[in-house]
Structure 1
């Protein structure tokens, strides 16, 4: 304090006074976070973690330690009066809340985006020092507050862990017919796909002038159209434009006839095209023209409906995912929000909206009873390993990705919402993650709603899943 008191006066006094004031109530860091939130992905996630760390640091500093460690603020005789902050705070001097918040935000951001954290470090250190320069705190208050802030950043990082990197994309390549100009290719276009436009069919004819293209308008039988396309004379490969349900129906026809499938980007959702590497028309054309293809596992879903003792069995092919419970509502909300908010934040908000008023269902999973918010089965191992699976780097790993989020524990809803907020769903007691080659889910006496690749099936009493390894050949670009 004597050293700071002996510093000559100047413009730096106004600078530190204004810097200190800008950080009152965390305003400076909230403004920085708002700016970072404009950039989706890790930058937005870093901003959220910084704010979470700041909130924890501020609560611990002001709510606990200022009460436990009462201390008088520096007196006017300790610094030149022109340097003193006005009005001086009246709470305990130990520890510095400004320092705790500043360091918590900068370190919290830096744990997610190190470069941005390093850029914020001078501002955070400047705010911490300004509290001594303006006579608001003793240096030891600042050091202790800074330590609390750094600790809050690391503790909340444990709550909201860094996602491990996704595995590299891997393919089991296979031979497939080369289809220059679409020769030997039959394509089915579902006009009910959410992104269908009048220009869609024309665009496909431009890139595949030799292909046989069937456009299915509303009211016509899609399965009949797929069968007709697959059996069209000279067909060596089947193409499909539509959502996950349409792609699943086409895949079943391709597997039955031992011909490769070309999945074109289209429909409301088309997860298989994304995972197959044909998320753009250019990529799909390149793979088909060069005959580049790979093998994928498929899932077989056997659902029993009808009255007890009089079961009605429906067998479906599953390319992507199936679910029971609130998962379909969660996915719809997440997909709606992610364009504006990015996937991580959209997942958190969608989870809160879905489960704040949702009701768990009672199920038996492989003979073990549970009260379940979500029963999710993915065809293949999805990442990340939490409540919001997004990507599937390997298409033929031979497993079912089984995820349950249960309500078996006391205070189930609070546990769920807290784990979503802190990013600890994967490690929470409410979450059960495993892999299997066969799974059975039984609803007991009450029928359940089942979703398979986005298509709903009502009145299901039990469902069984199994894997057919490398049963589907699909076009996928090598690069």
Structure 2
């Protein structure tokens, strides 16, 4: 008479019973309580969720490792419990296989094959370790302890644990493919040039926009203390900003133009400085201070030292030409772009990301912000350089930004001569699902919905409905078409020299 069971399962069962018999003969002691409690702590992934919460308190790679560990655990748990436990029904060990004081009560009712606890434990440890190897080594004893505890307490056969552990490791590797390691950001480089030395602000005229994000009543007095010989012109909300900037730049004896305000104010001041061949000193007066950060003058101390020593560099500027009004009678506006311009949902995404970043860190804040922005967002039909697209985001940066995905943050080179053109499109079928899946898996940069390129000129046409355009954070409504071009090394700006 032949057995109906597959031959493979027979030899696996024999090995399982052989190994479990050795475990059953281990003497009782405090270790039984330890493994029982360790096993219980990992129920529903509580142990790993708690560990991830602690690791998330430390920014950088540690927080990123926790995120990857949780993602790997989620994938491993889903595959194990939803797929394999259904496909591979198997009875769990019986009470006679282990001493009664060691056998877990109540016994789980789901299939024994494979071990979900083992899959989750190994997935979290390996997933975190792929991002931060030292952390993976530290977590390995806990993961192996949880896996072994399932055999020690009679919840699983040894082969269940081995198969579950393999699934966990595989889930971690797949997850790591979803969240590729970002290539290193190039080192900051400058094209250094000469500029007038401004000791105590002598020859410096500063325009201060009271609508700047960090303006206070004492701002002008504080600037005057840092630059006692400077001419300071404070612009009130009811005054014409561009006129006051030009008046400040034309003040007698002006050798350099300083600006205190947001990125839009800095752009207007840059236009005045370029027109008059004046070097620009950018002071950190806005909410985000993108250009000041990239220029190295993110603090008043750095700005003062660079100005007093005449340390300066060259930067490209972007020239944005926007057409508004009726097609037959357009109104043309020309703006200087120092940082970025965008059409579509990008401004909403940036605001959400900046709001969430202090609490969640950059990677997770970007994921949450993308989900919130694009779950309810609607793509816009645009013609970009003659090709029609349905666009979630059209983003142009003046210079190469990093990382090379949907959330550019850093620009190490200020005079590379290019526009950083990025689009996330909705041209493909199931566009919204593709977008959200690529955000979840960290594959936005490599997805078919993402288009990355560099150019020296670009044009966007709105077609039927006018679009809202943002240039350095300033909104321009009713735009029918916009063109971008680069003026190489047109701006001289003060920047502290690293070898001072």
Q: What is the match of residue 317 of structure 1?
A: 336
4+ aligned runs moved over 6 Å, structure 1: none
Say yes or no: does 1:190 pair with 2:201: no
- The separation in 1 between residues aligned to 2:238 and 2:139, in whole angstroms, is 59
Output aligned runs, 1:56-455, within 5 Å.
56-455=75-474
- The separation in 2 between residues aligned to 1:40 and 1:233, in whole angstroms, is 49
Structure 1, 197-206 or 373-382: larger mean CA deviation:
197-206
6, 16, 37: which is aligned to 2:56?
Answer: 37
- The separation in 1 between residues aligned to 2:211 and 2:476, in whole angstroms, is 19
- The separation in 2 between residues aligned to 1:277 and 1:421, in whole angstroms, is 34
Q: CA deviation at 1:43?
A: 2.3
- The separation in 2 between residues aligned to 1:96 and 1:32, in whole angstroms, is 20
In angstroms, what is the RMSD of aligned CA positions? 1.2
TM-score of the superposed pair, with normalisation by structure 2: 0.94
- The separation in 2 between residues aligned to 1:44 and 1:206, in whole angstroms, is 41
- The separation in 2 between residues aligned to 1:241 and 1:448, in whole angstroms, is 30
The DSSP-based 3-state class of the residue aligned with 1:378 is strand
| Structure 1 residues 438-479: Cα deviation after superposition (integer angstroms, max 9, x where no partner) | 101111122111111111111111111010111111111112
Q: CA deviation at 1:2?
A: 2.5
Stretches of structure 2 lacking an aligned partner (at least 5 in a row): 1-19
Q: CA deviation at 1:155?
A: 0.3
- The separation in 1 between residues aligned to 2:400 and 2:329, in whole angstroms, is 35
The DSSP-based 3-state class of the residue aligned with 1:82 is coil
- The separation in 2 between residues aligned to 1:118 and 1:258, in whole angstroms, is 58
TM-score of the superposed pair, with normalisation by structure 1: 0.98
On the 8 A contact 1:321/1:377 being kept in 2, the answer is yes
- The separation in 2 between residues aligned to 1:272 and 1:94, in whole angstroms, is 57
- The separation in 2 between residues aligned to 1:113 and 1:477, in whole angstroms, is 34
- The separation in 1 between residues aligned to 2:170 and 2:222, in whole angstroms, is 57
The DSSP-based 3-state class of the residue aligned with 1:364 is strand
The DSSP-based 3-state class of the residue aligned with 1:61 is helix
Aligned residues: 479
Q: CA deviation at 1:301?
A: 0.6
Q: CA deviation at 1:133?
A: 1.1
Q: Specify the structure having the higher radius of gyration (Cα).
A: 2
Q: CA deviation at 1:308?
A: 1.3
The DSSP-based 3-state class of the residue aligned with 1:49 is helix
- The separation in 1 between residues aligned to 2:133 and 2:260, in whole angstroms, is 42
The DSSP-based 3-state class of the residue aligned with 1:432 is strand
- The separation in 2 between residues aligned to 1:221 and 1:339, in whole angstroms, is 35
- The separation in 2 between residues aligned to 1:97 and 1:194, in whole angstroms, is 51
The DSSP-based 3-state class of the residue aligned with 1:263 is strand
- The separation in 1 between residues aligned to 2:444 and 2:53, in whole angstroms, is 26
On the 8 A contact 1:404/1:432 being kept in 2, the answer is yes
Q: CA deviation at 1:46?
A: 1.8
